[in-house]
Chains A and B, each alone.
Chain A
């Protein structure tokens, strides 16, 4: 970059953030770099900058969420946007309104952005192709949870100073996890080596196609990895017969202090939350020296501020233009 161009602009992100699969390495690094200066804003006494003043953002949550929704809301408010929260319970959704109708009605009230969590994989893309507002995926079914993937990348980079060449193992329910998918896409693009470690019932059958290694024992994963990302076991999976019992899951697949005895001092442990203490992760690990779980939460706000800032600059945004972009 020549000095004369120093205060230049960043490469465009597009209208929406649906997943990390469709982003380039350059775009992912740009989001992480943009998140850095946003960290400091949350440390100020007045935690607010006027960058999204006058923008209206709807947080449309069809599934339960505390951390992600609150994190998005803090990010939006610290950028001075006006926000509205809609959750499925208590909205017209339970009266049978379709997703597109809900979105079009919101559009009719002149909104600028939608942050959506939805139970169906592909819901974010579906919506993004149909409305001119920016759409940010806050988790869609088993597909992706891109801002979680980004905040994991940022936290790993903060502590290891790099991502390229790192060995990262995802432990737990890979099959149902959108966090796993976003992690795998993001980490692979930034040059990390990835492994997964899970019972066979919780692994996608085509896991090999993603270019990741598979460990059959947590102890092996711990020995191999620089970073463990421990995924939440959704408790309803037990009733569905994916795991025999929580106690057995913890004994074999849980990350416990005893299993960490062989781990190097600087092994990093992440968890996207909410944790099942004593199931996939033990309390003394979650609160121990390897854990960066609360750093993830802090970084989540900064990453979401960065994504909002970058998307709000906007393209000459229309659903048609967005379609044309991704249609090829």
Chain B
């Protein structure tokens, strides 16, 4: 039984609305879709990136390059002794990222450590023209000087709270929930 207290802050249509707005912003800021490459961060960033890609393709009538990136091997806590995290798959877009306008997409932005890892990994892959950061939910609590360029929703959370983005491919539904840990359950 889940003893935690859950509050739904975005339902399916809210997420679609946010994605549509973020898609418009991405196209606007880049003045079109030339050289645009969307890279999702595994696992749920990949799903959010896919939503953005289909939205941009629908409204602009283009075909976008996309890929995804697993940052496990670039984590800064791998030297901590303990069981190993599962390594996921990475996929570079077919024409690579050299000289491309890379939009890095993730579901939640918290400490910024995941983004640091993703930036290092992208730099090992090539030299993009620039990297923009696009986040569905920014929950604050940064530990590194990293800020998003495009945000779907900002939420202010307590230390005992976390935010969960659910996507159909993994969780069976699309939506965002804030989870408050029950003090008794810790």
Contact = CB atoms under 8 A, between A and B. Distances in A.
Interface of A: 3-4, 6-12, 33-34, 36-38, 40-41, 44-46, 48-51, 54, 309-310, 313-316
A7 B90 contact: no
A7 B85 contact: yes
A7 B79 CA distance: 17
B90 A37 contact: yes
Interface of B: 43, 70, 73-74, 78-79, 81-92, 120-121, 124-126, 164, 166, 170-171
A7 B78 CA distance: 14
Nearest to B96: A45
9 contacts: A3-B170, A10-B83, A12-B83, A34-B86, A49-B121, A309-B87, A313-B81, A313-B84, A314-B82
B106 to A, nearest CB: 13
Nearest to A30: B86
A314 B92 CA distance: 30
A48 B125 CA distance: 10
Contacts of A10: 83-86
B89 A9 contact: no
Contacts of A51: 73-74, 78
Contact of A8 (B74, B86, B90, B121): B86
B120 A314 contact: no
Contacts of A50: 73-74, 120
Contacts of B126: 45
A9 B87 contact: no
A12 B82 CA distance: 8
B74 A9 contact: no
Contacts of A11: 83
B85 to A, nearest CB: 5
A45 B83 CA distance: 30
